[in-house]
């Protein structure tokens, strides 16, 4: 990849272990970092974010090559990975830290995020209105090192085997059929 043309995107769709575990599989994705954004606490810790008091969401920031994978394709992936109609939760994970959120860098990216959400919502995949926030990215805080690549390092951990593993399998099947995955 041409490192000079790389872009980044930051979004949250529930537990970052679930989101981060698949994004690196996509062609055009250079790297992913689990972290926190959207809150008021400087340099938050996982334990602080889990209380729901920091205002932060668990997010993944991804660096990608837009000549290989487009912002619009990444938005399709985002809406595939979670249920954007669940307010402040994903499955059994409940709290504002698990909210559905897209962070944008500038007005042009905000417009693309709004359009992507409108298209996804119009698809009829979900019967209720989306609650995804579209918010300006003020600051991204990387999560602690043990959260980076958590699923890959801990596939037999109970949450990973029960929740993350099936999501990874579903993701690989869908995006593999579309030819969007890196060769293994």
Question: What are the tens digits of pLDDT across the range 56-75?
Answer: 999 999 999 999 999 999 99
pLDDT at position 4 is: 79
d(CA 54, CA 42): 9
What is the band of 2 on the pLDDT scale with cuts at 50, 70, 90? low
Question: In DSSP terms, which residues pair with 34 in a beta bridge?
Answer: 60
| CA nearest neighbour of 175 among 81, 92, 102 | 81
What token pair was written down for 69? 């994978």
For residue 116, give the 3-state DSSP assignment: helix
Mean model confidence pLDDT for the chain: 95
d(CA 36, CA 32): 13
Q: Could you tell me the CA-to-CA distances from 75 to 70, 82, 140 in Å, in that order?
A: 9, 11, 19
Report the alpha-carbon angle 42-48-50, nearest 5.
130
Beta strand 100-104 pairing with 133-136 = parallel
Contact 25, 87 (CB under 8 A): no
Taking the model in full, what pTM does it have? 0.94
pLDDT higher than 60, residue 159: yes
Q: State CA 126 to chain mean position distance.
A: 18
| CA nearest neighbour of 9 among 94, 77, 105, 73 | 105
Q: How many CB atoms lie within 10 A of CB 181?
A: 16
What is the band of 95 on the pLDDT scale with cuts at 50, 70, 90? very high
Residues marked active site are found at 15
d(CA 134, CA 117): 9
CB-based contacts of 51, cutoff 8 Å, min separation 6: none
What token pair was written down for 177? 């059929």
Which 8-state DSSP code applies to residue 127?
A: S
């Amino acid at each position: 990849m041409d490192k000079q043309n790389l872009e980044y995107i930051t979004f949250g769709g529930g537990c970052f272990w679930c989101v981060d575990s698949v994004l690196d599989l996509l062609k055009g994705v250079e790297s992913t970092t689990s972290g926190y954004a959207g809150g008021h606490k400087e340099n938050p810790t996982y334990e602080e974010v889990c209380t729901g008091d920091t205002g932060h969401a668990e997010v993944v920031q991804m660096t990608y090559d837009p000549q290989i994978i487009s912002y619009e394709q990444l938005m399709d992936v985002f809406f595939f990975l979670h249920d954007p109609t669940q307010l402040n939760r994903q499955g059994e994970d409940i709290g504002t830290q698990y909210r559905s959120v897209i962070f944008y860098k500038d007005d042009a990216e905000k417009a693309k995020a709004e359009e992507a959400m409108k298209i996804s919502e119009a698809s009829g995949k979900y019967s209720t209105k989306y609650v995804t926030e579209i918010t300006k990215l003020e600051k991204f805080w990387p999560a602690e090192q043990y959260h980076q690549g958590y699923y890959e390092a801990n596939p037999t951990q109970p949450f990973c085997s029960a929740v993350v593993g099936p999501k990874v399998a579903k993701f690989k099947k869908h995006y593999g059929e579309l030819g969007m995955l890196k060769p293994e």
